[in-house]
A = this chain, B = another copy of it.
Amino acid sequence: MATRTRRSQRRTEALSRERIVEAAVELLDATGEGGLTFRALTERLATGPGAIYWHVANKDELLDAATGAVVTAALATEPAEPPDSPQDRIRAVAFGLFDAIEDHPWLSTQLALQLSRNPWGSVTPGIFESIGQQVRALGVPEDSWFTATSALVHYILGAARQNAANTASARTLAPGVDRAEFLDAASRAWQELDPDDYPFIRAVAAQMREHDDREQFLAGIDLVLTGITALHLPGEQGRTSRPAT
């Protein structure tokens, strides 16, 4: 967040970390994960590698910054109808990330990498914070905050990733075929798996054909929310007999 309000425009347009990250996001959106190259970036910005490396340490940092920029924007967008409960706010955050991952397919991979490589960088804590604040607002006891938030975040990111992968596969494998047709074909392929090895996947394949993505995603969130409510807020829903740890 450097204050680059100065009028120091050496060339037609000043180079800045912000402009580099912006170009990186555009490049990723346009050409996919493999399309972000320092050579492609230098061409698009009409400069050389040295100039870029003056503002950015290396490619990983650039990818992190691009991921952070998109995620921050996704977390900042306000939902259409203002949520009036913590549950609705969690759903709003979840769909914000869901849509961002669908709009930027590379984000899926990048978030996963960020979560496994340096989980406590700048991006992940932002997501945890957004969800965690609502978990707290639900009234979950403090010693369960981390568990509840983890369950929500991991489901949200995992399911959104899987959804985006379906969309991407549909686009890549058969550009003319739309998503529904792709899922239909995939569903039929799963049903031809060995019944002895994959009885469950075969059985579940049928419903894949006619499911609504967002509804499915929402159902998973509600499942986790139900678990949180039942386990930690015994007054409001079913009580369970499991003693607190």
Interface positions of A (Cβ within 8 A of B): 108-109, 112-113, 115-120, 125, 128-129, 132-133, 135-136, 142-151, 153-155, 157-159, 161-162, 164-166, 169, 186, 189-190, 193, 197-201, 203-204, 207-208, 211, 215-216, 219-220, 222-231, 234, 237-245
Q: Are A223 and B231 in contact (CB under 8 A)?
A: yes
Per DSSP, chain A at the interface is: helix
Of all chain B residues, which has the CB nearest A232?
B223
Known contacts: A117-B165, A133-B199. The answer to whether A147 contacts B220 by CB under 8 A is yes
Known pairs A231-B226, A238-B237; A245 contacts B201 (CB<8 A): no
| Closest chain B residue, CB of each to CB of A137 | B200
New A-B contacts (19) at CB < 8 Å, excluding given A157-B158, A237-B240, A243-B244: A109-B116, A116-B161, A119-B165, A120-B189, A145-B207, A146-B204, A146-B207, A149-B204, A150-B216, A151-B155, A154-B155, A219-B245, A222-B231, A223-B231, A224-B224, A226-B242, A229-B230, A229-B240, A237-B239
| Interface residue from B120, B164, B238 paired with A186 (Cβ < 8 Å) | B120
**How far in angstroms is the closest Cβ of chain B from A138?**
12
Nearest chain B CB to A195's CB is how many angstroms away? 12
A159 to B119, CA, bound (A): 11
10 A-B pairs whose Cβ atoms sit less than 8 Å apart in the complex: A117-B165, A119-B166, A120-B190, A132-B200, A151-B224, A155-B155, A223-B228, A226-B227, A230-B240, A243-B244
